[in-house]
Chains A and B, each alone.
Chain A
Amino acid sequence: MPVNSDTVRQELRTFITDSFLVGDETTTFTDTDSFMRHGIIDSTGVLELIAFLEEKYGFAPEDDEMLPANLDSIDNLVNYIKRKTS
């Protein structure tokens, strides 16, 4: 079933804030900011992000989909999730 972009955007933001910015109320990031460059998600975090995608949206990235273009910002994730669930 196609997903609603705004809903997905909010779900992702909540997950990232709750999981990786625990207790940090000062860090802000835009929908286009790279998680890596901004020090928001490290390698362990990516594994958690993948587990979240699997649990929430019912798919895990294929090996050749493990790319920053799919996973390294809110916008990239939203577009990727839309493609995978359409």
Chain B
Amino acid sequence: MPGRYFAKSMRVEDLLRRVAAEAPHSRAAWYDGQELLYGELDKASDLLAEYLQKHLPPSARCAILCDNSLEYCVWFFGILKARMAVVPLDTSLSADSLATILTDCQAELLCAQLKFRRKLPLLLDNAISISAVITDSPLSYSSRTVSHITLNEIVGPIGSSSADAKHNSGMFRPLTLNDLGADRADDSLAAIFYTSGSTGAGKGVMLSHKNLVSNTIATVEYLKLTSADSVMVILPFYYIYGNSLLLTHVAAGGTCVIDNRFLYPEVVLDTMEQQEVTGFSGVPSNFQILLGNSTFTARKLAHLRYFTQAGGAMATETIRRLMKGFPSKEIYIMYGQTEASPRVSWLPPERLAEKIGSVGIPVPGVRVIVADESGNEVPGGETGEIVVDGDNVMIGYWNQPDENRAVLKDGMLHTGDLAKRDSDGYIYIVGRKKEIIKVGGNRVSVKEVEDCLLAHDKVLEATVIGVPDPLLGETVKAVVVLRPNMTADAKEFVLHCKQRLADFKVPKIISFVDALPKYQSGKVNKLQLKQEHSGQ
């Protein structure tokens, strides 16, 4: 009886507790020849929670700086079990940017892999709210006083050797939205996911247990996940889509097969075959790479049941190639936002050929309105903003009351994405209201990159646009006006940006012009710039 695991109100960690109680010997995760069983994950995260409750104040924010690994899973669930909030960090960010995030949310604890040790001194010097650090290996660090311990000292060794594929029994019954009921999920803060905002400063998206649990269960339902499922995880857990893979598979009692080497696609394809995964989830660039530069379609992938794709629009040509390469596999095209925990809509695979280009219909339990400026639904075929209503809508942005007022109205999320609906109610994204460039699933704030360029001594004016990229969907292009009598080359600006921005935000193309096209108001005419520069 599922109810006994969440007698009061359902929390994210109850998804783990439930499967650990019923199927402790099932495999929760596999990484690099090591497996972690549900019983082990539950016990290790209990020990961590006990430690955290002794050493940190209630409701502390606890950040994780860690690649996908067995340790990440323990940190994530241990923090939640301690009734604290997880702050997953984008490991590609600079130490400066990470310190800004930690300071913004006043994080008390940093859980870090030692491979990121070169970021730690600057990060800990600047993020003074951090009072404790837990690392995966011993750390020698001498700066301001922070308490330090390794995860091993708290919970003991994690995982055990297991090279072979393993399928969990399909007997475990995943929860449904009906099990969850109307008032059984916990409204308190579970996690803060930072995303690039259109204004440049990062925004902390606060998600409650209710947000994450309801969206997880809805996703398990439409993907028909069972405990026999195992997903190839190449997307980072700190990214909300990657987080969704972790939670949906824990909810279903399935397995996350982790491989962080997608830069070597053949290695990941080997893992998929060796571990007999049943699912693969990616952003458009993952599919572009697999279809364009690997033996993907020649592989048997006999156990694979489905693909999911989200993280930005995938070219219809790529979808067609995927359908042609794998006619017997289910392909789920999905749409969402971090602010929606993340899933908003899905396209049933059997309608894909007919509705290609659509992001489908709302996920179970979620209502989507395509609305005009006043919030009223527009007639079918007309363009409006996607507005989301459901338990998946975030609590709000951390410490951003103005932003919250702008996107949350009457409890509904105004996504900033523009869309149309066809006569069957299927949603087609047509554009974005906000100035964001999506590079391979990552959101890049135009303003953040522009501010970085403008900080260069030689720059008089700079603007940034997204231009089509066959691999990444979009890539960042900078158009720069130099100060009088200055000379510079593109490499100089790339270096300048690299020192200040995450790699995916650094402009890949830099053009120098004498002047930027402008409207009478003085604002840069980006439409004209895009037309002039879209051919790169």
Same complex for A and B? Answer yes
Q: Is B499 among interface residues, defined by CB-CB distance under 8 A?
A: yes
Interface contact B118-A27, CB-CB below 8 Å:
yes
State how many angstroms separate the Cβ of A52 from the closest Cβ of chain B.
13
A38 and B266 CA atoms in complex are apart in Å by 21
Q: A27-B118, A37-B115, A66-B266 given as contacts; is B498 within 8 A of A22 (CB)?
A: yes
Query: With a CB–CB cut-off of 8 A, which chain B residues contact A64?
Result: 266, 295
Stretch at the interface among B54-62, B166-174, B208-216, B257-265: B257-265
Q: Is B398 among interface residues, defined by CB-CB distance under 8 A?
A: no
A13 and B499 CA atoms in complex are apart in Å by 19
Mark A56-69 against chain B: 1 for CB-CB distance below 8 A, else 0.
Answer: 00000001101110
Number of interface residues of A (CB under 8 A): 22
Q: Is A8 among interface residues, defined by CB-CB distance under 8 A?
A: no
Query: With a CB–CB cut-off of 8 A, which chain B residues contact A66?
Result: 263-266, 293-294
Partner of A46, one of B116, B118, B263, B504: B263
Q: Is A39 among interface residues, defined by CB-CB distance under 8 A?
A: yes
Interface contact B503-A45, CB-CB below 8 Å:
yes
Q: A27-B118, A64-B266 given as contacts; is B92 within 8 A of A22 (CB)?
A: no
Query: Of B261, B264, B265, B266, which is in contact with the most chain A CB atoms at under 10 Å from its CB?
Result: B264
Q: Is B353 among interface residues, defined by CB-CB distance under 8 A?
A: no
A9 and B115 CA atoms in complex are apart in Å by 23
Q: Whose C-beta in chain A lies nearest to the C-beta of B498?
A: A22
State how many angstroms separate the Cβ of B421 from the closest Cβ of chain A.
36
Query: With a CB–CB cut-off of 8 A, which chain B residues contact A45?
Result: 503
Q: Is A2 among interface residues, defined by CB-CB distance under 8 A?
A: no
Interface contact A67-B293, CB-CB below 8 Å:
no
Complex interface residues of chain B between 250 and 277 (CB less than 8 A to chain A) = 260-267
A22 and B492 CA atoms in complex are apart in Å by 12
Interface contact A42-B495, CB-CB below 8 Å:
no
Q: Is A86 among interface residues, defined by CB-CB distance under 8 A?
A: no
Query: With a CB–CB cut-off of 8 A, which chain B residues contact A39?
Result: 91, 115-116, 118
Interface contact A63-B261, CB-CB below 8 Å:
no
Interface of A is mostly: loop
Query: With a CB–CB cut-off of 8 A, which chain A residues contact B265?
Result: 66
Interface contact A42-B263, CB-CB below 8 Å:
yes
Partner of A22, one of B115, B267, B293, B499: B499
Q: Is A4 among interface residues, defined by CB-CB distance under 8 A?
A: no
State how many angstroms separate the Cβ of A30 from the closest Cβ of chain B.
15
Partner of A63, one of B260, B295, B503: B295
Interface contact A43-B262, CB-CB below 8 Å:
yes
Q: A36-B261, A66-B264 given as contacts; is B504 within 8 A of A44 (CB)?
A: yes
State how many angstroms separate the Cβ of A80 from the closest Cβ of chain B.
13
Complex interface residues of chain A between 13 and 49 (CB less than 8 A to chain B) = 22-24, 26-27, 36-39, 41-46
Query: With a CB–CB cut-off of 8 A, which chain A residues contact B293?
Result: 63, 66
Partner of A42, one of B118, B267, B499, B503: B503
Interface contact B294-A63, CB-CB below 8 Å:
yes
Q: A26-B118, A42-B92, A43-B262 given as contacts; is B503 within 8 A of A67 (CB)?
A: no
A40 and B262 CA atoms in complex are apart in Å by 15
State how many angstroms separate the Cβ of B260 from the closest Cβ of chain A.
7
State how many angstroms separate the Cβ of A19 from the closest Cβ of chain B.
8
| Known contacts A37-B115, A39-B116, A41-B263, then 7 further A-B pairs from the complex at CB < 8 Å, ordered by chain A residue | A27-B118, A36-B260, A43-B262, A43-B263, A46-B264, A66-B265, A68-B267
Please provide the 5 A-B residue pairs with the shortest distance between their CB atoms, ordered closest to farther.
Answer: A39-B115, A43-B263, A46-B263, A44-B503, A63-B293
* A interface residue numbers (CB < 8 A to B): 22-24, 26-27, 36-39, 41-46, 63-64, 66-68, 71-72
A–B pairs, 23, beta carbons within 8 Å: A22-B495, A22-B498, A22-B499, A24-B118, A26-B118, A27-B118, A36-B260, A38-B115, A39-B116, A44-B504, A46-B264, A63-B295, A64-B266, A66-B264, A66-B265, A66-B266, A66-B294, A67-B264, A67-B266, A67-B267, A68-B261, A68-B267, A71-B264
* B interface residue numbers (CB < 8 A to A): 91-92, 115-116, 118, 260-267, 293-295, 495, 498-499, 503-504
